[in-house]
Amino acid sequence: MVQDPDCLFCRIVRGELPSTRIDEDDRTLTFMDINPASDGHSLVIPKAHARDLHDITPEDLAACSVTAQRVAARAVKQLGADGVNLLNCAGADAWQTVFHFHLHVVPRFRDSPDRDSLRLPWTSTPGDPARITAAAELLRATT
């Protein structure tokens, strides 16, 4: 397993830095976020270093997704969450601050601001149909 000796999350995987671990398997580690947006906010990471969504192997991405699903189910059952957000930020301009792939598992609590401070980061407004179509055409390209 490839790791970065200077990566904060790789150091957590190796046990060099403390964390509150809640789930672990051969490929993934899940621990509590120290700057939580809600009660139970955790991070799912691959044990092998991958900088971001563009760098992670398909196998590790799949493993992280399965782990996130398992942890999300526990948040609903054990914490009484009304819902769960999964969030990934790929790149500094997308709010990534630790450059080791991670999925945020954020339990949501309706009408409980003391347990849930996450707010939608954009205002949902209708898009320009021509721009939507143009972007779709570019995204369909396979080359």
Tokens 């809600």 map to which residue? 38
pLDDT by residue (tens digit) across 59-114?
Answer: 999 999 999 999 999 999 999 999 999 999 999 999 999 999 999 999 999 989 99
* CB crowding 93-108: b at 16 or more within 10 Å, else e: eeebeebbbbbbbbbb
Pick the CATH number of 8-118 from 2.40.50.140, 3.90.1150.10, 3.40.50.300, 3.30.428.10: 3.30.428.10
In the set 41, 100, 102, 104, the catalytic residue is 102
Domain borders along the chain are: 8-118
109: nearest Cα among 72, 127, 83, 131: 83
pLDDT by residue (tens digit) across 90-101?
Answer: 999 999 999 999
Instruction: Give the pLDDT score at 78.
Output: 98
Q: For the chain, what is the mean pLDDT?
A: 95
142 pLDDT higher than 80: no
Active site residue 102: yes
Q: What phi and psi, each to the nearest 5 degrees, are found at residue 13?
A: -55, -45
